[in-house]
Amino acid sequence: MILIDCPYCGPRNSTEFRHAGEAGRKREVTTNDPAVWRRYLYQQDNPLGWVRENWFHTTGCRQFLCAERNTQTNEIRWVAPAGSPGPDGASNNGGAR
């Protein structure tokens, strides 16, 4: 079980959430190059270790969140509303929607 500390609802079991992919993936809306779109559709980093990712609180506030989770231990060290600046100041933490 992973406990996700939703900034709106408090700590909840991850079963209440839908994983929404790695954070910061952006549709390149200014191009119609299939290769670019396929990379966007199929390619993620899949790191072993820390990853910044989005979750959607399906059975709670129904908001998108951004979290930093260790994929080896499932430890979560940071959660914030999607799009908030990260602990490192990086701003690209919105979801791929």
Partner 1 sequence: MSHAESVPSNKVTAGTQARRRRSRGPARYSALDIFRRGVTNSDWPRSFRQHDLAKSYDVVIIGAGVHGLACAYYLAAHHGITNVAVLDKSYMGGGGSGRNTAIIRSNYLTPEGVRFYDRSVVLYQNLAADLNYNVMFSQRGHLTLAHTDASLRTMNWRAEVNKLQGINSSVIDAAEVGRIVKYLDVSDRPRYPILGALYHPPGGIIRHDAVNWGYARAADHLGVQIHQQTEVLGIETAGGKVTGVRTNRGAISASIVVNCTAGWATTISDMVGVKMPLITHPLQAAVTEPVKVFLPSVIVSGSLHVYVSQTDRGELVFGASVDPYPSYSMRGSLEFTESVASHILELIPSIGSLKVLRQWAGLCDMTPDYSPIMGVTPVAGFLVDVGWGTYGFKAGPVSGEAMAALVATGRVPEIISAFDLARFADGRLVGEKGAASVGH
Binding site for partner 1 (CB under 8 A): 1-2, 14-15, 18-19, 34-35, 38-39, 41-48, 51, 71-74
Residue choice 61, 79, 80, 96 for contact with Zn ion (CB under 5 A): 61
Q: Mark the segment that binds Zn ion (CB under 5 A) among 29-37, 51-59, 67-75, 84-92.
A: 51-59
- The C-alpha atoms of residue 33 and residue 28 are separated, in whole angstroms, by 9
Write the single-letter amino acid at 83.
G
Task: Determine, following the binding rule CB under 5 A, whether residue 80 of this chain makes contact with Zn ion.
Answer: no
Q: What are phi and psi of 56, to 5 degrees?
A: -115, 125
User: Which does residue 42 touch among Zn ion, partner 1, none (CB within 5 to 8 A, set by kind)?
Assistant: partner 1
The answer to whether 27 touches 41, Cβ cutoff 8 Å, is no
